[in-house]
């Protein structure tokens, strides 16, 4: 085998050194991106000039929150799901929940209850309700009614509005729990205070019709419907507690 000439050896050395420098630079960039506090990443959403580009850059470098925010701002569901997966794999709990919902509904990914279960199980408290409902119904895995009910009740104790509303339905119609209108109303009101639209609508209808032991109150029913309509179309966060009911 012919020995390489000195110029060729020098070129190889320069190439290898250059590759190493580039790799070290990329690693340095990624480390700086991952070290950026979540508060600073959130603030980028308010930067109308450079915010989107900077978020995309951080997301590409692997920042979990940046990847999730890019996903949430992306209209294309398939692309959004891809960013959610990057964020979820990097450890963002909300991204794991949202990815679970994507698989549950088939938004941007093939519908797959088994994968939905998997992601909900890694999403912490955020995923308990959905995981409980899948377990209750036996979707995407083994069916365990008692465990499913227990998980839904646990999620309600953690102030998950969907779980609280579901308990209201169970009490109202006697599904899984003993029928009790008073407890149904109690849970609907609690979910309504968390600005949960279905609970607001359920109570509005009950106040229009005088159902579940409630007195007919057209004015309050109208107010609740107005609130539900606003929340349904508003892009701002509506997850904080508002004392609609005592």
Closest CA to 64 of 84, 42, 87, 81: 87
Residue pointed to by tokens 């709990």: 93
Cα gap 205→200, rounded to integer Å: 9
Dump pLDDT digits (tens) for 2-36: 565 666 655 555 566 656 555 554 556 566 767 78
The pLDDT, as a whole number, for residue 50 is 76
Cα gap 22→24, rounded to integer Å: 5
Cα gap 173→164, rounded to integer Å: 15
CA contacts within 13 A on the Cβ side of 42: 3
The second-level CATH assignment, the architecture, of 21-126 is Alpha Horseshoe (1.25)
List the domain boundaries for the chain.
21-126, 159-246
Contacts with 230 (C-beta within 8 Å, 6 or more apart), sequence order: none
Least confident of 37-46, 63-72, 209-218: 37-46
Q: Contact at 8 Å (CB) between 136 and 145?
A: yes
Dump pLDDT digits (tens) for 184-236: 999 999 999 999 999 999 999 999 999 999 999 999 999 999 999 999 998 78
For 47-79, give one letter per residue: b (16+ CB within 10 A) or e.
Answer: eeeebeebbbbbbbbbbbbbbbbbbeebeeeee
CA geometry: angle at 151 spanning 146 and 152, to 5°? 100
Dump pLDDT digits (tens) for 150-190: 999 999 999 999 999 999 999 999 999 999 999 999 999 99
DSSP classification of residue 176: S
Q: Contact at 8 Å (CB) between 61 and 30?
A: yes
């Amino acid at each position: 085998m012919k020995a390489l000439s000195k110029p060729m050896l020098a070129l190889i050395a320069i190439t290898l050194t250059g590759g190493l420098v580039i790799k070290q630079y990329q690693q340095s960039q990624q480390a700086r991106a991952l070290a950026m506090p979540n508060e600073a990443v959130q603030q980028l959403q308010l930067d109308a000039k450079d915010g989107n580009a900077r978020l995309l850059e951080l997301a590409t470098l692997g920042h979990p929150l940046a990847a999730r925010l890019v996903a949430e701002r992306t209209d294309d569901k398939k692309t959004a799901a891809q960013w959610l997966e990057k964020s979820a794999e990097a450890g963002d709990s909300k991204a794991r929940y949202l990815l679970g919902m994507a698989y549950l509904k088939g938004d941007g990914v093939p519908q797959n209850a088994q994968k939905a279960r998997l992601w909900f199980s890694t999403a912490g408290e955020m995923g308990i309700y959905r995981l409980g409902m899948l377990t209750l119904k036996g979707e995407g895995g083994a069916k365990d009614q008692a465990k499913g009910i227990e998980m839904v009740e646990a999620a309600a104790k953690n102030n998950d509005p969907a779980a609280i509303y579901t308990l209201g339905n169970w009490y109202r119609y006697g599904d899984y729990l003993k029928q009790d209108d008073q407890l149904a109303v109690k849970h609907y009101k609690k979910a309504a205070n968390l600005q949960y639209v279905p609970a607001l609508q359920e109570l509005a209808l009950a106040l229009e019709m005088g159902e579940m032991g409630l007195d007919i109150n057209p004015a309050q029913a109208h107010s609740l419907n107005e609130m539900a309509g606003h929340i349904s179309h508003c892009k701002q966060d509506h997850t904080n507690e508002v004392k609609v009911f005592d």
